[in-house]
């Protein structure tokens, strides 16, 4: 239902809302961490945190939207869900401009909240997977990367050997090694991996 | 049909009785008398009931000619004059029905339409009536112009006094207001003064009553200014009745200038009606403004409270969802259902408390005063400052004096005022582009029973001509402002027995004076 290692970070100044939200999400099987305001969250934040943030819009000190902006400034891609007791159009617009997953009005519909959390966590899951794949691609040598490029075009070992000017036997060795490094079993998986691995680069 | 008959049977005796009672000082044997209240009755009836009552009015008029005046010109002339008079009523009633959205006479414009139609209509029907008598050579020694003037004034007075009174009595809302007016002790005093003045004018002082007539304007203006249109119609009717009794009393004396007196009554009536109408309109505008101010204040309150109602509601629904999950997954031991339900009860109590405050405010706009320590007030200022100013909240400084007494205020309403003042200060300093932006809030002693919360900001301050007007509703120094914030804030401060003022200074400065807890 929700990938391991992902946490729901709750930033909410009202003790009852914080407690009840934590209880509900905890019972639903999410790992939760609480903060009473944006400053406490920022003080505790570590780069390796993964999951999503549910924050109240109105907080003492910096607001939920300001917290999100600060997190983006720090290079974090943690998805945000913003909740508020005021159905404030301007705030909702600001939240969406800042790429919040959802903007929910209190008292919120639990189905909507769960859906928003699921969206946020699956976004986060994909991001983590892509990051892992990028990390693994970085392990390849220059020659292995050349072989990979040709292999994903659908060329056979002999054809790759001709293109790169090396023996087919060497190509086979490189291919076996790079597939082991990337943790894939066949060419089809290799192709999928290469596409997924490329994506973040092309997006930026 | 039955209704038609019943109405006609009520109308006819009233009409004939009024005709008989007001048949005084006629021109020859004809119905040209100084006032004709029965014509006001006929027009009111046609106005309210509809023009289908025309035949009943015509027949009644003929009967009145026969009963009151014994058909002075013979059947033919009686029929002709009756048709002329009734035609005049119908024309006036028809025009009024066309021009007035309802017969209640609720605005100066309606009153002007009414007066214009009545005076013009009676002039035209007077021309026709007098012309008819002249044609039949029945006027005797009276000149056409004199007969015409007499007819015109008599009819106009009769209608202008009678119709508004009848319309007021018939309208349920105005009848209720009339009854309310009748129960005021002041009304008794007013009526007594008016009746006394009428007596002095017509009997007490002796001689020509028109010489003292202007005295009557004093009680009339008093009554109209205090009682509005309703007071005015009753007062003019009393003057008219006094006048009629006076004339009856003096029938032997030839010196009473009946026509001149009635011309004065026209002036008196118009003054009373217009003054009363203006008083009513002003009162209506003031009431609707008060109402919208209270609504706006309630809206502000709702905004401030919505957040607080939503918090316990949110917690409640979260706990409810949690309880359901505990019920479904039987292997969960911590927390127990009992534990969750206890928390739910606590939240519902919290919600109920907030709702009760909102209801109190809506019910009466009254305040729920409670003792508030000065340090808590300042904590509130800081909290609101953080909410309003966000990341810039460090520009707000909050100070106080030692040994300040506790305040006696409605916490929620004062929060609305503080929020308004800090939001205003924030906008004022945003205009300035100044690097030394600051908002300073200081709580000081004002006098034995009051403290003063001074909001000073580094903005340009309120200009001299705006300083007092800025508290009026819909006046704003800001291009986007609704202009309600300060009006509401002052209303709240005054409801507390305090005040809110803008000070003359090179910077923005507002003084909010609030009461202290009374010492036992």
Let me know if residue A1 belongs to a domain: no
Cα dist from B341 to A27, B106, B316, B326, B364, whole Å: 15, 58, 9, 11, 35
* Same domain, residue pair A23 and A66: yes
Could you say which of A90, A105, A130 is where a domain stops?
A130
* Nearest chain A Cα distance for residue B441, angstroms: 18
Contacts of A61 in chain B (CB under 8 A): 386, 390-391, 393
CATH of residue A198: 1.10.10.10
Contact list in A for residue B323 (CB cut-off 8 A) is none
Give buried/exposed letters for B468-480 (b at 16+ CB in 10 A, else e).
eebbebeebbeee
Which of A100, A130, A160 finishes a domain?
A130
Q: Please answer yes or no on whether A107 and B317 come within 8 Å at the CB atom.
A: yes
Low-confidence stretches of chain B (pLDDT beneath 50): 252-253, 479-482
A147 and A167 co-located in one domain: yes
Minimum CA–CA partner of B383 in chain A: A60
For residue B392, the distance in angstroms to the closest alpha carbon of chain A comes to 9
Whether residues A124 and A52 fall in one domain? yes
- Please answer yes or no on whether B318 and A20 come within 8 Å at the CB atom: yes
**pLDDT tens for each residue of B86-97:** 999 999 999 998
- A34 and A118 inside one domain: yes
Best B302, B306, B318, B351 member to test A by mutation, with max A CBs in 10 Å, is B318
Same domain, A32 and A110: yes
Going by DSSP bridges, is the β-strand pair B370-372/A80-84 parallel, antiparallel, or unpaired?
unpaired
State the pLDDT at residue A115. Answer: 92
Q: Do A16 and B390 touch (CB under 8 A)?
A: no
Q: Report chain B residues whose CB lies below 8 A from the CB of A108.
A: 314, 317
Which residue in chain A is spatially nearest to B341 when comparing CA positions? A20
Task: List the structure tokens of B485.
Answer: 């914030």
Domain boundary among A103, A130, A157: A130
Question: Do residues A71 and A112 both lie within one domain?
Answer: yes
| pLDDT recorded at residue A9 | 95
Does A177 fall in a domain?
yes
pLDDT means per 10 residues, chain A with 204 residues, are 73 90 91 91 90 87 86 90 76 75 84 91 86 79 83 82 86 85 78 61 35
pLDDT for B482 equals 45
Which residue is closest to B346 within chain A, CA to CA?
A: A16
Q: Spell out which residues of chain A touch residue B332, defining contact as CB-CB under 8 Å.
A: 27
A153 and A114, same structural domain?
no
Instruction: Tell me the residue range of the domain where A13 lies.
Output: 7-130
- Is there a domain that residue A14 lies in? yes
Total domains, chain A: 2
Q: Which pLDDT does position B304 carry in this prediction?
A: 60
What is residue B271's predicted lDDT score, i.e. its pLDDT? 92
CATH number at residue A48: 3.40.50.2300
A66 min Cα distance to partner chain B (Å): 8
Report if residue A158 sits inside a domain.
Answer: yes
> CA gyration radius for chain B?
35
CA-nearest residue of chain B to A88?
A: B303
Looking at the structure, tell me whether residues A109 and A198 fall in a common domain.
no
Give DSSP secondary structure letters for B68-100. HH--TTHHHHHHHHHHHHHHHHHHHHHHHHHH-
Q: Is residue A147 located within the same domain as residue A125?
A: no
User: At CB < 8 Å, which residues of chain B contact A?
Assistant: 303, 306-308, 310-319, 321-322, 325-326, 329, 332, 335, 340, 343, 346-347, 350, 383, 386-387, 390-391, 393
Per the DSSP assignment, residues forming a β-bridge with B407 are B372, B516
Q: CB contact, 8 Å: A86 with chain B? A: yes
pLDDT digits 0-9 by tens, A72-119: 899 888 999 998 876 666 777 777 777 788 888 888 888 889 999 999
| Test the A interface: residue of B300, B306, B308, B315 with most A CBs within 10 Å | B315
C-alpha B121/C-alpha B36 separation (Å) is: 14
Tens digit of each residue's pLDDT (9 = 90 or more) over B65-75: 888 877 777 77
What is the pTM for the complete model shown? 0.53
Question: Are residues A179 and A117 part of one domain?
Answer: no
The answer to whether residue A2 sits within a structural domain is no
Do A87 and A170 fall within a single domain?
Answer: no
φ and ψ at A82, to 5 degrees?
-105, 130
Provide the shortest C-alpha distance from residue B459 to chain A (in Å): 23
Task: For residue B317, list chain A residues with Cβ-Cβ distance below 8 A.
Answer: 107-108, 110
Do residues A51 and A76 share a domain? Answer: yes
Does A155 reside within a domain?
Answer: yes
Does a structural domain hold residue A73? yes
Is residue A29 domain-resident?
yes
């Amino acid at each position: 239902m929700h990938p391991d290692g992902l946490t729901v970070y709750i930033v909410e100044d009202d003790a009852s809302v914080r407690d009840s939200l934590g209880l509900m999400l905890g019972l639903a099987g999410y790992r939760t961490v609480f903060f009473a305001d944006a400053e406490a969250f920022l003080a505790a934040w570590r780069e390796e945190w993964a999951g999503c943030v549910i924050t109240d819009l109105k907080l003492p000190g910096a607001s939920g939207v300001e917290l999100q902006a600060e997190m983006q400034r720090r290079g974090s891609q943690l998805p945000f869900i913003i909740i508020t007791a005021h159905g404030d159009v301007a705030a909702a617009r600001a939240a969406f401009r800042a790429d919040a997953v959802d903007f929910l009005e209190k008292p919120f519909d639990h189905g909507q909240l769960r859906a928003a959390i699921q969206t946020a966590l699956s976004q986060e899951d994909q991001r983590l997977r892509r990051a892992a794949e990028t990390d693994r691609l970085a392990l390849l040598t220059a020659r292995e990367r050349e072989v990979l490029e040709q292999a994903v075009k659908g060329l056979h070992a002999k054809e790759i050997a001709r293109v790169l000017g090396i023996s087919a036997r060497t190509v086979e060795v490189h291919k076996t090694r790079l597939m082991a490094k990337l943790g894939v079993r066949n060419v089809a998986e290799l192709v999928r991996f290469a596409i997924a691995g490329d994506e973040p680069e092309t997006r930026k | 049909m039955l209704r038609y008959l019943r109405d006609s049977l009520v109308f006819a005796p009233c009409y004939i009785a009024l005709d008989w009672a007001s048949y005084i000082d006629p021109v020859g044997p004809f119905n040209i008398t100084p006032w004709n209240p029965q014509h006001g009755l006929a027009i009111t009836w046609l106005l309210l009931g509809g023009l289908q009552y025309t035949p009943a009015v015509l027949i009644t008029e003929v009967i009145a000619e026969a009963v009151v005046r014994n058909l002075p010109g013979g059947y033919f002339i009686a029929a002709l004059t009756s048709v002329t008079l009734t035609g005049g009523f119908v024309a006036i009633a028809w025009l009024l029905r066309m021009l007035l959205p309802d017969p209640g006479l609720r605005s100066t414009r309606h009153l002007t339409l009414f007066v214009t139609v009545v005076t013009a209509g009676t002039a035209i029907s007077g021309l026709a009536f007098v012309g008819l008598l002249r044609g039949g050579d029945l006027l005797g020694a009276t000149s056409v112009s004199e007969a015409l003037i007499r007819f015109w004034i008599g009819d106009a007075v009769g209608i202008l006094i009678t119709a508004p009174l009848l319309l007021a009595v018939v309208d349920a809302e105005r009848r209720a207001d009339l009854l309310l007016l009748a129960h005021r002790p002041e009304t008794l005093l007013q009526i007594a003064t008016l009746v006394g003045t009428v007596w002095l004018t017509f009997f007490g002082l002796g001689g020509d009553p028109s010489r003292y007539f202007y005295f009557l304007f004093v009680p009339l203006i008093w009554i109209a200014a205090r009682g509005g249109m309703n007071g005015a119609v009753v007062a003019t009717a009393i003057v008219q009745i006094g006048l009629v009794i006076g004339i009856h009393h003096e029938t032997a004396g030839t010196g009473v200038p009946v026509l001149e007196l009635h011309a004065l009554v026209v002036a008196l009536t118009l003054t009373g009606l217009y003054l009363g109408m203006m008083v009513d309109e002003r009162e209506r505008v003031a009431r609707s403004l008060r109402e919208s101010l209270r609504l706006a204040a309630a809206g502000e309150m709702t905004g401030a409270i919505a957040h607080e109602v939503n918090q316990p509601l949110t917690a409640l629904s979260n706990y409810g969802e949690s309880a359901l999950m505990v019920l479904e997954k039987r292997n969960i031991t911590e927390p127990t259902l009992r534990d969750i339900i206890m928390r739910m009860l606590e939240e519902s109590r919290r919600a109920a408390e907030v709702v009760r405050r909102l209801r109190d405010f809506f019910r009466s706009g009254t305040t729920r005063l409670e003792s508030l320590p000065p340090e808590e007030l300042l904590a509130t200022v800081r909290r609101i400052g953080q909410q309003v100013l966000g990341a810039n909240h460090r520009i707000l400084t909050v100070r106080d004096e030692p040994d300040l007494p506790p305040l006696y205020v409605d916490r929620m309403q004062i929060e609305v005022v503080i929020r308004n003042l800090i939001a205003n200060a924030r906008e004022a300093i945003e205009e300035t582009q100044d690097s030394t932006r600051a908002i300073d809030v200081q709580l000081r002693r004002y006098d034995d029973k009051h403290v003063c919360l001074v909001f000073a900001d580094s903005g340009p301050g309120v200009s001299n001509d705006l300083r007092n007007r800025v508290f009026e509703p819909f006046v704003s120094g800001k291009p986007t402002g609704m202009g309600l914030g300060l009006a509401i804030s002052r209303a709240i401060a005054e409801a507390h027995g305090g005040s809110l003022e803008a000070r003359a200074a090179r910077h923005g400065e507002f003084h909010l004076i609030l009461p202290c807890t009374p010492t036992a």
